[in-house]
Amino acid sequence: MNPQPSSSACGRLEAAWEVLRQIPDPEVPVISLWELGIVRDLRETAGGLEVVLTPTYSGCPATELIQDDVRAALARFGTVEVILQRAPAWTTDWISEAGREKLRAYGIAPPGRVLDSGAQPIRLVHRASLSKLACPRCGSANTEKLSAFGSTACKALYRCLACREPFEYFKPI
């Protein structure tokens, strides 16, 4: 006989979290929605689940796709309602350290920090250091910006002058 699934609400929610944390980002499948920081909450409802997501960029075409993916992945838990919470707005600072490492390994330079614990205006610091963006492949700072937009509006296109490989930069917001 198969082991009975836990009937406790807690076990069910825990199982749903487990599934939710694994759902990949449709645009960059190496990173999960959880690592991207857009999953804000998961709650149980009478008939199923309620998932709270904060979309990355307003008008990002992936938002619809992400909602469909979440509904499909959690369908076995009942009715899945996706709530889009737009405030506070998502920032690239919400991308986890593990997520940043995965982006780099995938060949996308992870975004610089927008805010920091200190009082320094990081946006300005960041802008000044844009030309010295490190290549995710070889680490060289000898890179140049090719285009403000890469494969998606969320990314910019760069080229490394050391290894000559183009790469994308996840723009910080």
Return residues touching Zn ion (CB under 5 A). Answer: 135, 137-138, 140, 160, 162-163
Which CB atom, from 77 or from 158, has the smaller least distance to Zn ion?
Answer: 158
Half-sphere exposure of 30 (CA within 13 A, CB side): 12
Which CB atom, from 65 or from 162, has the smaller least distance to Zn ion?
Answer: 162
CB of 44 to Zn ion, least distance (A): 47
CB of 148 to Zn ion, least distance (A): 20
* C-beta of residue 158 within 8 angstroms of C-beta of residue 133: yes
Which CB atom, from 122 or from 138, has the smaller least distance to Zn ion?
Answer: 138
Report the run of H or E that residue 63 belongs to, with start and end: helix 62-74
CB of 158 to Zn ion, least distance (A): 10
Q: 173 Cβ partners below 8 Å, 6+ apart?
A: 57, 90, 91, 92, 111, 114
Strand partners, 80: 49
